[in-house]
Chains A and B, each alone.
Chain A
Amino acid sequence: MYSFINVFGLAVGLASCILIGLYIADELSYDKFNANSSRLVRVSAEEGHDGNAEPVGVTGTKAGPQLKRTFSFVEDYARVINSSRVVKYKDKLYTEKRVLYADAPFFKMFSFNLTGGNPATALTNPNTVVLTKTMANKYFGNEDPVGKTLNFGTRGDYIVTGVCDDAPGNSQIRFDFVASFSSLPVYKTEEYWSANYITYLLVRAQTDIAAAAKQVDNYMRTAVGKELGMTGGDYLTYHLEPLLSVHLNSKAEGLEPNGNINYIYIMFAIGLLILIIACINYTNLATAQSATRLGEIGMRKVMGAQRWQLFTQFVGESGLITFIALVLALVISITLLPLFNSITGKALTANTLIAPMPILGMLALSVAVSFIACVYPAFILSGTGLSKILKTGFSFSRSGNGLRKTLIVAQFVISVFLIIATIVVQDQLHYMQNKNLGYDKEHVLVLPLDNTSLNNYDAYKSGLKQIPGVENVASAYETPTNIGWGDKIKKTGDAGDKGISINALPADLDFINTMKIPIIAGSNFTRADFAGMDTSNDHKNYRYTFIINETAAKQLGYKPEEAINKTIYKNNPGIVKAVVKDFHFTSMHETIKPLVIFLEDRMLYSTFIRVNSPDVSATINKIGVYWKTRVPNRPFEYHFLDEDYNRLYKAEQKTASIFSLFAGTALILACLGLFGLAAFTTIQRTKEIGVRKVLGAGTVTIVNLLCREFLQLVTIAFVIAAPVAWTASNKWLQDFAYRINISWVIFFVAGISVVIVTLATVGYHAIKAALSNPVNALRSE
Chain B
Amino acid sequence: MIELKHVSKWITVGGVRTFLLKDVNLTIKEGEFVSIMGPSGSGKSTLLNVMGMLDEFDEGEYNFLHEAVHKLKEKHRSALYKKYIGFVFQAYHLIDELTVYENIETPLIYSDSKTGERKAIVADILDRFQIVGKKDLFPTQLSGGQQQLVGIARALVGKPKLILADEPTGNLNSKQGEEIMDLFKKLNQEDGVTIIQVTHSEKNAEYGSRIIHLLDGRIERIEEK
A residues whose Cβ falls under 8 Å from a Cβ of B: 395, 397, 687-688, 690-692, 694-698, 701, 773-775, 778-781
Inter-chain contact B54/A697, CB cutoff 8 Å: no
Give, as a whole number of angstroms, the nearest-CB distance from B96 to chain A: 7
CA separation between A779 and B89, bound complex, in Å?
Answer: 10
Name B107's contact: one of A695, A698, A773 (CB within 8 Å): A695
Closest to B98 in A: A688
CA separation between A696 and B79, bound complex, in Å?
Answer: 8
CA separation between A701 and B82, bound complex, in Å?
Answer: 15
CA separation between A723 and B89, bound complex, in Å?
Answer: 51
Name A781's contact: one of B87, B90, B107 (CB within 8 Å): B90
Inter-chain contact A695/B54, CB cutoff 8 Å: no
Q: How many residues of B contact A (CB 8 A)?
A: 20
Inter-chain contact B87/A694, CB cutoff 8 Å: yes
Q: Given A691-B93, A778-B93: A698 and B55 within 8 A (CB)?
A: no
Which are the 3 A-B pairs with shortest beta-carbon distances?
Answer: A696-B110, A696-B82, A695-B107
Name A696's contact: one of B45, B78, B96, B97 (CB within 8 Å): B78
Inter-chain contact A692/B111, CB cutoff 8 Å: no
Inter-chain contact A774/B54, CB cutoff 8 Å: yes
Inter-chain contact A778/B55, CB cutoff 8 Å: no
Inter-chain contact A695/B55, CB cutoff 8 Å: no
Inter-chain contact B89/A778, CB cutoff 8 Å: yes
Q: Given A692-B106, A696-B78: A773 and B55 within 8 A (CB)?
A: yes
CA separation between A778 and B164, bound complex, in Å?
Answer: 15
Q: Given A773-B55, A774-B54, A775-B55: A692 and B95 within 8 A (CB)?
A: yes
B interface secondary structure, majority: loop
What are 19 inter-chain pairs, A to B, with CB distance below 8 A? Answer: A395-B96, A397-B96, A687-B93, A688-B95, A688-B97, A691-B94, A692-B95, A694-B54, A695-B82, A695-B107, A696-B82, A696-B107, A696-B110, A698-B78, A774-B54, A775-B49, A775-B54, A778-B93, A781-B91
Q: B154 within 8 Å of A by Cβ?
A: yes
Interface string of B64-85 (1 = CB under 8 A from A): 0000000000000010001000
Give, as a whole number of angstroms, the nearest-CB distance from A709 to chain B: 11
CA separation between A690 and B96, bound complex, in Å?
Answer: 14
Name B110's contact: one of A688, A695, A781 (CB within 8 Å): A695
Q: Across the interface, which residues of B come within 8 angstroms of A778, CB to CB? A: 89, 93
Q: Across the interface, which residues of A come within 8 angstroms of B110, CB to CB? A: 692, 695-698, 701
6 additional contacts (CB under 8 A) given A701-B110, A775-B55: A688-B96, A694-B54, A695-B106, A696-B111, A780-B91, A781-B91
B residues whose Cβ falls under 8 Å from a Cβ of A: 45, 49, 54-55, 78, 82, 87, 89-91, 93-97, 106-107, 110-111, 154
Q: Across the interface, which residues of B come within 8 angstroms of A397, CB to CB? A: 96-97
Inter-chain contact A695/B91, CB cutoff 8 Å: no
CA separation between A257 and B93, bound complex, in Å?
Answer: 69
CA separation between A150 and B200, bound complex, in Å?
Answer: 106
CA separation between A193 and B154, bound complex, in Å?
Answer: 95
Give, as a whole number of angstroms, the nearest-CB distance from A586 to chain B: 63
CA separation between A745 and B89, bound complex, in Å?
Answer: 52
Closest to B46 in A: A775
Q: Across the interface, which residues of A come within 8 angstroms of B154, CB to CB? A: 695
Give, as a whole number of angstroms, the nearest-CB distance from B125 to chain A: 15
Give, as a whole number of angstroms, the nearest-CB distance from A408 to chain B: 19
Q: Across the interface, which residues of B come within 8 angstroms of A780, CB to CB? A: 91
Q: Across the interface, which residues of B come within 8 angstroms of A690, CB to CB? A: 93
Name A691's contact: one of B45, B78, B82, B95 (CB within 8 Å): B95
Give, as a whole number of angstroms, the nearest-CB distance from A113 to chain B: 72
Q: Across the interface, which residues of A come within 8 angstroms of B95, CB to CB? A: 688, 691-692
Give, as a whole number of angstroms, the nearest-CB distance from A390 to chain B: 16
Give, as a whole number of angstroms, the nearest-CB distance from B143 to chain A: 15
Q: Across the interface, which residues of A come within 8 angstroms of B49, CB to CB? A: 775
Most chain-A Cβ atoms within 10 A of its Cβ — which of B55, B82, B93?
Answer: B93
CA separation between A696 and B110, bound complex, in Å?
Answer: 6
CA separation between A692 and B93, bound complex, in Å?
Answer: 10
Give, as a whole number of angstroms, the nearest-CB distance from A686 to chain B: 11
Give, as a whole number of angstroms, the nearest-CB distance from B98 to chain A: 9
Give, as a whole number of angstroms, the nearest-CB distance from A722 to chain B: 31
Closest to B75 in A: A698
Closest to A779 in B: B45
Give, as a whole number of angstroms, the nearest-CB distance from B201 to chain A: 16
CA separation between A397 and B110, bound complex, in Å?
Answer: 24
Closest to A697 in B: B110
Q: Across the interface, which residues of A come within 8 angstroms of B94, CB to CB? A: 691
Give, as a whole number of angstroms, the nearest-CB distance from A769 to chain B: 15
CA separation between A485 and B73, bound complex, in Å?
Answer: 83
Closest to A780 in B: B91
Most chain-B Cβ atoms within 10 A of its Cβ — which of A687, A694, A697, A779?
Answer: A694
Give, as a whole number of angstroms, the nearest-CB distance from A530 to chain B: 91
CA separation between A694 and B89, bound complex, in Å?
Answer: 11
Give, as a whole number of angstroms, the nearest-CB distance from B73 to chain A: 13
Q: Across the interface, which residues of A come within 8 angstroms of B107, CB to CB? A: 695-696
Give, as a whole number of angstroms, the nearest-CB distance from B85 to chain A: 9
Give, as a whole number of angstroms, the nearest-CB distance from B139 to chain A: 11
CA separation between A781 and B154, bound complex, in Å?
Answer: 21
Give, as a whole number of angstroms, the nearest-CB distance from B101 to chain A: 15
CA separation between A149 and B219, bound complex, in Å?
Answer: 110
Q: Across the interface, which residues of A come within 8 angstroms of B111, CB to CB? A: 696
Q: Across the interface, which residues of B come within 8 angstroms of A781, CB to CB? A: 90-91
CA separation between A748 and B135, bound complex, in Å?
Answer: 43
Closest to B49 in A: A775
CA separation between A775 and B96, bound complex, in Å?
Answer: 19
Closest to A692 in B: B106
Q: Across the interface, which residues of B come within 8 angstroms of A695, CB to CB? A: 82, 106-107, 110, 154
Q: Across the interface, which residues of B come within 8 angstroms of A773, CB to CB? A: 54-55
CA separation between A694 and B95, bound complex, in Å?
Answer: 12
Give, as a whole number of angstroms, the nearest-CB distance from A122 to chain B: 82
CA separation between A390 and B82, bound complex, in Å?
Answer: 35
Give, as a whole number of angstroms, the nearest-CB distance from B182 to chain A: 24
Give, as a whole number of angstroms, the nearest-CB distance from A428 to chain B: 47
Closest to A776 in B: B55
Most chain-B Cβ atoms within 10 A of its Cβ — which of A690, A695, A697, A778?
Answer: A695
Q: Across the interface, which residues of B come within 8 angstroms of A687, CB to CB? A: 93
Q: Across the interface, which residues of B come within 8 angstroms of A701, CB to CB? A: 110
Give, as a whole number of angstroms, the nearest-CB distance from A473 to chain B: 78
Closest to B171 in A: A781
CA separation between A773 and B54, bound complex, in Å?
Answer: 8
CA separation between A691 and B55, bound complex, in Å?
Answer: 14
Closest to A777 in B: B93
Give, as a whole number of angstroms, the nearest-CB distance from A562 to chain B: 79
Give, as a whole number of angstroms, the nearest-CB distance from A710 to chain B: 16
CA separation between A687 and B78, bound complex, in Å?
Answer: 18
